[in-house]
Structure 1
Amino acid sequence: MHILYLHQYFITPQQVGGTRSYEFARRFVNAGHQVTMLTAQDRSFPWTGKNPFRKREIMGIQVIEIKAGYADSRYGTTLSYWKRMFNFLHFALISSCALFSLSMPDVIFATSTPLTIGIPALFARKRWRVPFVFEVRDLWPEAPIQMAALKNPVNIALARWLERTIYRHAEHIVALSPGMAEGVQQAGVAAQKVSVIPNASDIELFHPDVDGAAVRDRLRLHGRFVCTYFGAMGEANDLTYVLQAARILQTKQEQQIVFVLHGHGKRRAELQAFCQQHHLMNVVFSDSVPEKDYIAQLAAASDVCMTIYKNVPVLYTCSPNKFFDALAAGRPVLVNTPGWLQELVNTYEVGVFVQPENAESLVEQVTYLRDHPELCARYGKNARRLAETQFSRDQLAAQLLEILHHIAIKQERQA
């Protein structure tokens, strides 16, 4: 089977970011299938010549890079909303043109965000008359609407029209959480047309046996109870809430608990300024290092791993990599989003839920965990077990491949 895989943010393990598409595509190739990946340019790999497309092979995946847009989603967090929209549309246009140089696939698989990745998918579907499957990683345009990034009524109407057009023409839709699946169905899609395949745990890189001593030394964390956040520091991740908890703890002269924040985003400088203004000694900002396994070591150096979002309903549907990697690391998880993540935490006893926008709740929970090491140990064991049994990449990639194969076979029978 030849799978045309469209993902603007295709990331390999040598880069920083989520590698879901790489890991799934690699497993599709290992299963004997041909995968052509259409993605934005890797800016770390020098571009020579004037051709707007270039080809590379990565672990058997035929990668077609487009000299448009950007593949590093972290870069996008530094841009204004309108600059991001321009980049999205530019990539959609040029990638649609690139389709003329490709051979006919058996099935098309397009994964968001951005929602505009559906444009070349629709074009490919029409050109070759082959089915396409659409993956929803975030509910667009609902997310930017609720985050007040998209306000113009005309633009909202256009975005909703594109969303429904993509959903209507997709043979099947894959959502990364039950909440996202509900959002897709509320847009008019039949329930039987939607499947949930969440983000996966990297059970090879993240492991309870990883040694975090070097990171504890580097960040001067020895003897302290470490609560770590790793990921984007943007508008959707309201880490001011964590700093308010740190301030409460410092006021109580509680210095044994420390918050480690690792990542980038346009709010990082603001967060650092807040810490300096209030002389917070219990917050540590971790800088990026070249070693890919640093995040795994950071998780191993932590007593608790936090998944924090702004208190916006659409964000309750998120399926964040950081959460699943914390499970793989065998660390208790702390979440502040009601909904699916809260249900996972409570049902499988892998951590705690804290009330969003309630710094006192965060203080209460981390203090309780610090005072009950046996509970942390039990949560950590449960977390690793959950990662292995329900969220391994092999298991989830196989589920997606089964859907793609079923759709392709169904098309053959109808032809």
Structure 2
Amino acid sequence: MNNRVTLICESFLPERTAGSNRALSIINTLLLSDYQVTVCFLMPLGCASQDYIFPNELKCFTNLKLIPVTRKIYNKSNLLFRLMNETMQAKKLISKSLEVDSDTIIISTPMLMLLPVAAWYLKNAKVHTILEVRDLIWRYYEFKTGLLSYLISEVLTKISIYSINKFDDVVTVTHSQREWLVSKTKTNVIAIENGIDLNTLQKLSTVNKGALLDDSIIYAGSIGYPQNISTLVEAVYLLQNKGVIIRLTIVGNGPEFDKVSELIEKRKLLNARVIPAVKFEQLSEEYSNHKILYGQLRNIPSLETAVPTKVFEYLAMSKPIIFGLKGEAKDILLKFEGVVVVEPDKPQELAEAILKQISNNVFKGNNYNQLHSNYLRENLISKYKDLIC
């Protein structure tokens, strides 16, 4: 058995992101099966690699090596600077990974330039290469208008497809992503679905269900163009104009953080706040103090292939949920209780859904068993061992 595995990813513990949580599930599965595992990852912004503290929850494993790489701060809103800096950071990750003897190297995106850089530097490496595609990020310029955006989208897509074909195996986290890649590439592509890890499921399932809470709604996650959180602000504003005051909390980071904050001030919302991302324990308290959970992905074809981890985290709490999205994620959500799915980017429709969920004082659903049976990440990730062996 080839039992030396290196995982290269953008983030890892102590950061709690969608990527780091999935990476943790992958390495836990491999470590418990006696693989020798190395993880190369970027440190949180502002933190140096020499200051990294080995996570307590992983100290029991003697077959694990962690290699943190200092992350350089740059302006993500400038595409040129982003591509240049991501290329340099990706090169650092690959260089560090090649200092370790491996039988298999797993590259986990969606860091945009990690894909082509890894394909280039690993092309002559005598290792089994697996690419994990968590997002078709190179397609995101499809949503922008103009000749330049079209050309950028075409170039990024061609580079990405060329790079994908250099890997031995490709893993996607949704079936629709797999279908798209199968139609464009020649490599072996399998879907290992997203889900929720047991520890997170158990913790979130204890969150206060909120039947007696005030009229409140919370969004927690990235605050960027794909999420278009301004839709939520506008919906709350429409309700306020009708005399319905909603307590609104938005938690997260992203390029549109300031834009959303300014819109709240402009609309003079009476009970709204935007706060930076917080640790899991504090976020759980925020969830407990709100009645409705909200999420959205813009009405863009490339986003219809995505199933955000937020879908499963929200479902674990068995609270009333509103999601504005389409595609595979919508199909999953509609299998569960207490969920209202609306058209994305439609404030009026969202406002009506908020009123509906506010009155949902009888919802006593429990999605725990369905999540545990069908979407437990540990069970899904075990398919990785079949690829590596």
Q: TM-score, normalised by structure 2?
A: 0.86
Kindly provide the amino acid, as one letter, of the partner of residue 270 in structure 2.
Answer: M
Range 194-203 or range 231-240, more displaced: 194-203
Return the match for 2:296 from 288, 308, 314: 308
Distance in 1 (CA, whole Å) between partners of 2:163 and 2:95 is 19
Distance in 2 (CA, whole Å) between partners of 1:247 and 1:99 is 50
Return the match for 1:377 from 347, 352, 364: 364
Q: Are residues 1:281 and 2:287 paired?
A: no
The aligned counterpart of 2:219 is 229
Return the match for 2:250 from 261, 282, 289: 261
Distance in 2 (CA, whole Å) between partners of 1:279 and 1:39 is 42
Q: Deviations over 1:292-313 (max 9, x none)?
A: 3222232233322212122222
Q: Are residues 1:136 and 2:133 paired?
A: yes
Contact 1:233 1:239 in 2 (8 A): yes
Contact 1:95 1:120 in 2 (8 A): no
Return the match for 2:193 from 195, 198, 205: 198
Task: Could you tell me which runs of 5 or more consecutive residues in structure 2 were left unpaired when the two chains were aligned.
Answer: none
Distance in 2 (CA, whole Å) between partners of 1:129 and 1:321 is 33
Kindly provide the amino acid, as one letter, of the partner of residue 83 in structure 1.
Answer: F
The aligned counterpart of 1:408 is none
Alpha-carbon distance, 1:325 to partner:
1.0
Q: Are residues 1:346 and 2:334 paired?
A: yes
Structure 2 residue matching 1:15: 3-state secondary structure: coil
Q: Are residues 1:11 and 2:43 paired?
A: no
Q: Are residues 1:207 and 2:209 paired?
A: no
Task: Could you tell me which runs of 5 or more consecutive residues in structure 1 were left unpaired when the two chains were aligned.
Answer: 214-220, 406-415
Alpha-carbon distance, 1:208 to partner:
2.8
Contact 2:292 2:322 in 1 (8 A): yes
Alpha carbons of structure 1 residues 350 and 163: separation in structure 2 relative to 1, 3 Å: farther
The aligned counterpart of 2:280 is 292
The aligned counterpart of 2:347 is 359
After superposition, residues 43-58 of structure 1 pair within 5 angstroms as 43=45, 45-47=47-49
The aligned counterpart of 2:90 is 92
Alignment identity in percent?
16
Distance in 2 (CA, whole Å) between partners of 1:63 and 1:326 is 30
Alpha-carbon distance, 1:160 to partner:
2.7
Distance in 2 (CA, whole Å) between partners of 1:94 and 1:207 is 36
Task: Report how many aligned residue pairs link the two structures.
Answer: 378
Alpha carbons of structure 1 residues 369 and 390: separation in structure 2 relative to 1, 3 Å: same
Structure 2 residue matching 1:185: 3-state secondary structure: helix
Q: TM-score, normalised by structure 1?
A: 0.81
Distance in 1 (CA, whole Å) between partners of 2:151 and 2:350 is 40
Kindly provide the amino acid, as one letter, of the partner of residue 37 in structure 2.
Answer: V
Range 142-151 or range 236-245, more displaced: 142-151
Kindly provide the amino acid, as one letter, of the partner of residue 12 in structure 2.
Answer: I
Alpha-carbon distance, 1:327 to partner:
1.6
Contact 1:55 1:62 in 2 (8 A): no
